Amino acid sequence: MNHSIPTSLSDPEISSRLERNSQSQVAGSQRTRTAVVVLTGVLMSFLDLLIVNVAFPSIARHFGELSVARLSWVLNAYAIVFAALLVPAGHWADRMGRKRSFLIGLAMFTVASALCGAAPSLGILIGARILQAAGAAQLLPAAMGLLLPEFPPEKRSVAVALFAAVGGAGAAAGGPIGGLLTQLGWNWVFLINLPIGIFVLFAGARVLREIRESTTTARPDLLGALILAAGIGSLVLVIVKGRDWNWNSRSVAGFSTLALAFILWFVGRSKTHRAPVVEFPMLRVRSFALANISALFFAIAFSSLVLAGVMFLTDVWKSAPWLLGLQLAPGPLMAAALAVPAGKLCGRIGQRPVALAGVLIFLLGDAWWLWRLGAESRYSTQFLPGLILTGIGAGLSVPAVLSAGVESLPPSRLSTGSAILNMSRQIGLALGVAILVAIGNADGPNNLTQFRYGYLVIGLAALTSGVTCLALKGGDLASSKGQPS
């Protein structure tokens, strides 16, 4: 093929154009390598979202644990610690280097996965999950902080959508993979992380470039993170155990007071600390604050929905473990398939209409289950349509809300901002699991009436997320860029 150079250009102009093309190709190659490494690590952490849920019945059988309230801490301990450490980890990544933070977090997650797989008791499994959460908290904000600077500002919504797509793909793969792995043993749902983690560690050490953008020398507020974890943990404990303890008992009153005291202490400390877990000036950015509220309530709906699906198919329809993963997979697959197109759509028409459309479709899926689910197993006509609709809704809403939050912040706050957003989501995940468990008895919801109450709560949480999205305005992003410092 003949590539001719216009004769009207002078030699310096030709040289300048060739140099720009070469720089663009190098930047594109580095962007691709960074995206592959970072998103593979993120995929591993998101794989745990559904893979552990699918293994829930097998873990219960292995440890002889009949109480879903106790077993739920395998999920909730992870979510609470993850939420509490995300922002300090984001500060540490900005301060000490995002590459270093990513690799340390990845190593912790991989080692903790091995410990989970070897756990001889439920208590040790929960402890290993806490360590696994600490690694994931170190990994995730650094991953976003490594990926976003590789994209020009006008394409960052695509990068956020890639993040969401990988999350959806991890959740989608987690279902069938988890169902198959549990045939070998429940511990294989954790051991699968080992080869992925080792590969990404070696590749990341070679490919990733170090980025430091922190403007502060203050140390992250680890005590504040512990206070937050204690407050959210006390609140979750009240929700999970409230029915067993009797809602008007001294235990409920005592732990509710403790939760309130910890949360108030956390808020006061965050207002005075030099590097707090939550930077309140950032919450003055309208779109960022609203995105956090919306993400919190949508996560409550989503985590309740995932666990409700696992328990309904297992307890009511008596699905086999290998079949359970396949039955749950279409929803996350739809979410993964739509995440990148949703990000591009946000760039054209804005985040608010995309987020609202996603919430409405999610609500339609939830309403379908309320209307159609029955005691007799009819997967294709009763369960599958609701699963596809909620998957489409999540695929549209999640990237739109995250994009609305992240794009409102300057580059120096990307790691911290994404950490706060994901903190809100993780708190929502823990609260959603706790609320679903509380709807039933000590064994969780196990009959149609209780599951219908569960799906009603899921719909109310999603509706609250949608109402919050209504408050987003088109000018928020443009007017707020660069405001937090």
The three-class DSSP label of residue 205 is helix
Between 10 and 55, where is the model more confident?
A: 55
What DSSP line would sit under 88-146, residue for residue?
Answer: HHHHHHHHH-HHHHHHHHHHHHHHHHHHHHT-SSHHHHHHHHHHHHHHHHHHHHHHHHH
- The predicted pLDDT at position 484 comes to 45
Q: Which residue has the tokens 């549990």?
A: 182
Report whether pLDDT(485) > 50.
no
CA atoms within 13 A on the CB side of 290: 24
Between 458 and 240, where is the model more confident?
A: 458
Mean pLDDT of the chain: 83
Q: How confident is the model at residue 366 (pLDDT cuts 50, 70, 90)?
A: very high
Between 102 and 480, where is the model more confident?
A: 102
Return the axis-axis angle of helices 122-147 and 56-63, rounded to nearest 10°.
150
Report whether pLDDT(118) > 50.
yes
The two tokens of residue 425 are 């989501």
Q: How confident is the model at residue 197 (pLDDT cuts 50, 70, 90)?
A: very high
The Cα 78–Cα 426 span in angstroms is 9
Q: How confident is the model at residue 438 (pLDDT cuts 50, 70, 90)?
A: confident
Percentage of residues in the chain having pLDDT higher than 90: 36
The two tokens of residue 394 are 């999540």
Per residue in 370-397, pLDDT (tens digit) is 999 998 899 999 999 999 999 999 989 9
Contact 417, 291 (CB under 8 A): no
Q: What is the DSSP letter of 441?
A: B
- The predicted pLDDT at position 345 comes to 87
The Cα 60–Cα 444 span in angstroms is 13
Q: What is the DSSP letter of 282?
A: G
- The predicted pLDDT at position 238 comes to 92
Least confident of 168-172, 191-195, 345-349: 168-172
Mean pLDDT in residue range 235-247: 86
Distances in Å between the Cα of 142 and the Cα atoms of 103, 130, 225, 401 are: 9, 19, 17, 20
Q: Which residue has the tokens 């995002």?
A: 98
One of 3.40.640.10, 3.40.50.150, 1.10.8.50, 1.20.1250.20 is the CATH number of 36-209+275-479, namely: 1.20.1250.20
Per residue in 353-364, pLDDT (tens digit) is 999 999 999 999
- Residue 387 is which amino acid? L
Per residue in 268-304, pLDDT (tens digit) is 999 988 888 888 888 888 888 999 999 999 999 998 9
Between 67 and 8, where is the model more confident?
A: 67
Of 3-17, 106-120, 146-160, 317-331, highest mean pLDDT: 106-120
What are 441's strand-pairing partners? Answer: 444
- The predicted pLDDT at position 263 comes to 95
Return the axis-axis angle of helices 321-328 and 56-63, rounded to nearest 10°.
150
Distances in Å between the Cα of 198 and the Cα atoms of 191, 202, 442 are: 12, 7, 39
Mean pLDDT in residue range 216-226: 81
Mean pLDDT in residue range 17-44: 70
- The predicted pLDDT at position 371 comes to 94
Q: How confident is the model at residue 15 (pLDDT cuts 50, 70, 90)?
A: low
Q: How confident is the model at residue 26 (pLDDT cuts 50, 70, 90)?
A: very low
- The predicted pLDDT at position 468 comes to 92
Cβ neighbours of residue 90 closer than 8 Å, sequence gap 6 or more: 141, 142, 145, 415, 416, 417, 418, 419, 420
The Cα 324–Cα 393 span in angstroms is 22
Mean pLDDT in residue range 447-471: 91
Mean pLDDT in residue range 142-165: 77
The pTM score is 0.82
Q: How confident is the model at residue 159 (pLDDT cuts 50, 70, 90)?
A: confident
The Cα 60–Cα 80 span in angstroms is 21
- Residue 271 is which amino acid? K
Q: How confident is the model at residue 158 (pLDDT cuts 50, 70, 90)?
A: confident
Per residue in 421-437, pLDDT (tens digit) is 888 988 998 999 999 88
Cα three-residue angle 178-181-184, rounded to 5 degrees: 150
| Alpha helices, H only, 350-447 | 351-372, 384-406, 414-439
Report whether pLDDT(51) > 90.
no
The Cα 393–Cα 386 span in angstroms is 11
- The predicted pLDDT at position 422 comes to 82
Q: How confident is the model at residue 266 (pLDDT cuts 50, 70, 90)?
A: very high
Contact 442, 65 (CB under 8 A): no
Phi, psi of 471 (to 5 degrees): -80, -15
How many Å separate Cα 274 from the centre of its chain?
27
Q: How confident is the model at residue 255 (pLDDT cuts 50, 70, 90)?
A: very high
- The predicted pLDDT at position 134 comes to 94
Burial of 229 (0-12, 13-18, 19+ CB in 10 A): buried
Phi, psi of 444 (to 5 degrees): 80, 175
Mean pLDDT in residue range 305-318: 89
Listed in order, the ranges of the chain carrying CATH 1.20.1250.20 are 36-209+275-479
Helix (H) or strand (E) holding 167: helix 156-184
